[in-house]
Amino acid sequence: MQQSIPESIKISPFMAAFVVVSMQIGIGVLGFQRLITEDAGYDAWISVIGAGLTVNIIVWLMYKICEAVDGDVMTANVFVFGKIIGNSINTFFILYFSMTCITLLAGLMEVIRTWMFLTLNPFFFATTYLILGIYIVNGGFRTVVGTSLFGIVVPAYLLLSFLAPIRYGDFTNLLPILDHNPVQLIKGAYNMTLTYLGYGVLLFIYPFIKEPKKSKKWVHIGLFTTTFFYTFLAVVTFAYFPIALLQKSIWATLEMWKIVKLPFIERFEYLGLANWALIILPNIAISLWVASRVVKRVYHIKQRKAVLFIAAVVLMFVLFLDSRERMNTFFDIQAKTGFTLAYLYTPFLYISLFIKKKVKAS
């Protein structure tokens, strides 16, 4: 059964959008451009829009699932598959969100060690970052959501930094439009869906939203905003980079920041990375909160104890991912797992829930 959530810890409907958008804007923003052009070339901006539209469909299904059981996905799993199988599936979400936390932290550390501090101590940085995440989670769900709002609003000025590459860009690079076949565009959209991942957190925060039906429009507005942001960034990147150079650029966004010059700062990418550490913090906190929340619901362990254990596991794996090869393998597994949960398991659960309700009603 879904536990009753006190009204005092619930959030306003429009705040749900900040949680979802915060999870969508992660480390992938710094280098998604190269991945989506591998198949779709400079037509990949079409793939970005297409992938964004599919995200809205999946989120619509997520709302339907939560509304059907008047709770979260854990309640839905137990209702459809029974307590044993349902909680086994729920346990998998602990692993997935722990993997998400590992991916975010390891990716952030790699960028910082490559661009700023070559001798950065990974243990010290990861431990400090996770302690911040634990502190936020222990402050309660409203604190986690507040951090999400802070992590989006404060660094929003970085959008102005893309005026520099627009000035030097050649937008004829995008011509001719539709120069790639539908299969190539779909492959580009698939790579983009991996960057959009994170909105699945809605399945877990649904019971914490006041009048959740009113949050639908805000969440969809947030999703369209994210789609617009990624499309804008993709178009600016395509105008700035020749295709051959872009496909060799691991972090295209950071490389565009290199041309930004201000009177009081010479290396703007350092400022951008410092702000990105702030943007990633809510993602870490949300991932830790969801994973520890599932532990609390399934295994009846206090969330404060669960988050400590999960953070310790995350730290060990982050230190283990000490090479580009290991990171690529782990990141690929995490991305494909997220895609499977979003685009295969969510529709499957929705259909199963629909059938189960029909059977019980007959």
- E-strand stretches of the chain: none
3 state SS of 122: helix
Q: Do the Cβ atoms of 193 and 337 come closer than 8 Å?
A: no
Of residues 295, 327, 350, the one with CA closest to residue 60: 350
As given in the structure block, the two tokens for residue 300 are: 């009846």
Q: What is the pTM of this model?
A: 0.94
DSSP 8-state code for residue 177: T
As given in the structure block, the two tokens for residue 346 are: 């969510």
3 state SS of 265: strand
pLDDT for the residue 271: 86
pLDDT for the residue 3: 61
As given in the structure block, the two tokens for residue 152 are: 């989006």
Q: Which residues pair with 262 in a beta bridge?
A: 265
In order along its 362 residues, the chain shows pLDDT tens digits of 456 788 889 999 999 999 999 999 988 898 899 999 999 999 999 999 999 999 999 999 999 999 999 999 999 999 999 999 999 999 999 999 999 999 999 999 999 998 888 888 999 999 999 999 999 999 999 999 999 998 898 888 888 888 889 988 899 989 889 989 999 999 999 999 989 999 999 999 999 999 999 999 999 999 999 999 999 999 999 999 998 899 888 899 989 998 888 887 778 888 888 888 889 999 999 999 999 999 999 999 999 999 999 999 999 999 998 888 888 899 999 999 999 999 999 999 999 999 998 888 76
Phi, psi of 117 (to 5 degrees): -120, 95
Domains and CATH numbers, the chain: 7-329 (1.20.1740.10)
3 state SS of 209: strand
